């Protein structure tokens, strides 16, 4: 099972490296959206600091959605997905591997860029660390939940819009607790409650999302 998971992850990472423009689009979108806010709001440091967590998290959420439609679509169109449905390993394991590859491609770069972008808003020290921690906990949830929406809309016309409508309401708790943890840290309050809830959401998504995505894929292919 671990060999299968590793093969799926390496395959998707290799394919992503052959289409680097898709990866760079997500990163540049994230950078541009976050960087535009200080230019539009002005140089008032306190205001920028107060809105930093929400801006970074909303930008990360939107950036992660850019590549959701491609999560299963390429395999669906070239027939690879039908072959994956016939392997002896559980389909949920294959889905987990594809989600992990999606997070490594679209989530990890956002996490790595977030401290530099946080400096534009006047975040310092512990606040930057908290921003990175919340994104590390939250971006995998975005990929896991997004996989369910991508599987449900697979092969449908206008699937990108439908994915957004399906997953955005489910992203709201992650957005609230992620931005709330950074805001609480900036205010000198404890963020342990926010982090605990985000950890619980991540654990729940790891258990349920691959199974739900696998079921949706079988329905879409049939």
Residue 21: pLDDT above 80?
Answer: no
Q: What count of other Cβ atoms lies within 10 Å of the Cβ of residue 92?
A: 18
Name residues whose C-beta falls within 8 Å of residue 164's C-beta, 6 or more positions apart in sequence.
65
* Beta carbons of 76 and 103 less than 8 angstroms apart: no
The pLDDT confidence band at residue 159, using thresholds 50, 70 and 90, is low
Angle at 162 between CA 156 and CA 165, to 5 degrees: 165
Residue 130: pLDDT above 70?
Answer: yes
Q: What count of other Cβ atoms lies within 10 Å of the Cβ of residue 15?
A: 15
DSSP string, 32-76: HHHHHHHHHH-S-HHHHHHHHHHHHHHHHHHHHHHTTTHHHHHHH
Whole-model pTM?
Answer: 0.88
The pLDDT confidence band at residue 13, using thresholds 50, 70 and 90, is confident
Residue 36: pLDDT above 70?
Answer: yes
Distance between CA atoms of residues 222 and 86, nearest Å? 13
Q: What pLDDT, on the 0 to 100 scale, is given for residue 158?
A: 62
Q: Compute the residue count for the chain.
A: 222
Q: How far is CA 89 from CA 4, 182, 200, in A?
A: 8, 40, 27
Residue 136: pLDDT above 90?
Answer: yes
40-70 pLDDT, tens digit per residue, is: 877 777 888 888 888 999 999 988 888 887 7
User: What mean pLDDT comes out for the span 6-24?
Assistant: 83
* Beta carbons of 198 and 132 less than 8 angstroms apart: no
């Amino acid at each position: 099972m671990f060999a299968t998971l590793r093969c799926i992850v390496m395959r998707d990472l290799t394919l992503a490296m052959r289409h680097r423009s898709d990866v760079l689009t997500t990163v540049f979108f994230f950078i541009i959206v976050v960087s535009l806010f200080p230019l539009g709001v002005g140089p008032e440091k306190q205001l920028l600091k107060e809105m930093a967590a929400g801006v970074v998290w909303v930008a990360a959420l939107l950036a992660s959605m850019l590549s959701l439609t491609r999560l299963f679509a390429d395999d669906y169109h070239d027939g690879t997905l039908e072959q994956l449905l016939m392997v002896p390993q559980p389909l949920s394991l294959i889905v987990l591997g594809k989600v992990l590859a999606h997070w490594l491609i679209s989530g990890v770069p956002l996490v790595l860029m977030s401290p530099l972008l946080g400096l534009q808003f006047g975040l310092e020290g512990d606040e930057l660390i908290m921003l990175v921690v919340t994104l590390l906990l939250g971006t995998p949830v975005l990929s896991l939940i997004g996989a369910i929406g991508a599987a449900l809309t697979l092969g449908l016309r206008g699937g990108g819009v439908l994915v957004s409508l399906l997953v955005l309401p489910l992203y709201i708790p992650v957005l609230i607790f992620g931005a709330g943890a950074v805001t609480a840290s900036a205010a000198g309050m404890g963020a342990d409650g926010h982090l605990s809830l985000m950890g619980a959401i991540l654990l729940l998504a790891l258990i349920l999302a691959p199974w739900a995505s696998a079921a949706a894929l079988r329905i879409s292919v049939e």
